[in-house]
């Protein structure tokens, strides 16, 4: 197994954990945990796609991570305002 495979496996695993936990209603899609798992998983998967290099997935995962980061920042700002 190559380094890029290991990195990609870690990223995809984080994405799948987020998906399963949200689908099983263990976490909400508006939670810090969900958005953090999506951000980290997509960013790692994007980097792995860059290493192989496979541009379509670099773009897909980069956009996914940016959307998750936006959601994470939004949640953190809402939590800090409501305190």
Domain locations in the chain? 3-81
pTM of the model: 0.91
CA 80-63-39 angle, 5° bins: 45
Q: Walk along the chain (83 residues) in steps of 10 and give the mean pLDDT of each run.
A: 95 98 96 97 98 96 97 93 75
Q: What is the pLDDT of residue 56?
A: 97
Q: What kind and span of H or E run contains 44?
A: helix 32-51
Q: What is the pLDDT of residue 53?
A: 94
Q: What kind and span of H or E run contains 65?
A: helix 55-81
Contact in structure between 35 and 62 (CB atoms under 8 Å):
no
Q: What is the pLDDT of residue 45?
A: 98
Q: What is the pLDDT of residue 80?
A: 87
Dihedral sign of CA atoms 53, 17, 64, 35 in order: negative
Q: What is the pLDDT of residue 1?
A: 85
- Encode pLDDT of 19-42 as tens digits: 999 999 999 999 999 999 999 999
């Amino acid at each position: 197994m190559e380094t890029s495979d290991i990195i990609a496996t870690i990223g995809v695993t984080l994405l799948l954990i987020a998906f399963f936990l949200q689908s099983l209603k263990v976490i909400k899609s508006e939670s810090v945990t969900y958005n953090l798992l999506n951000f980290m998983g997509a960013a790692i998967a994007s980097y792995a796609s860059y290493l192989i290099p496979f541009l379509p997935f670099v773009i897909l995962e980069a956009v996914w991570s940016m959307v998750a980061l936006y959601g994470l920042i939004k949640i953190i700002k809402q939590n800090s305002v409501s305190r």
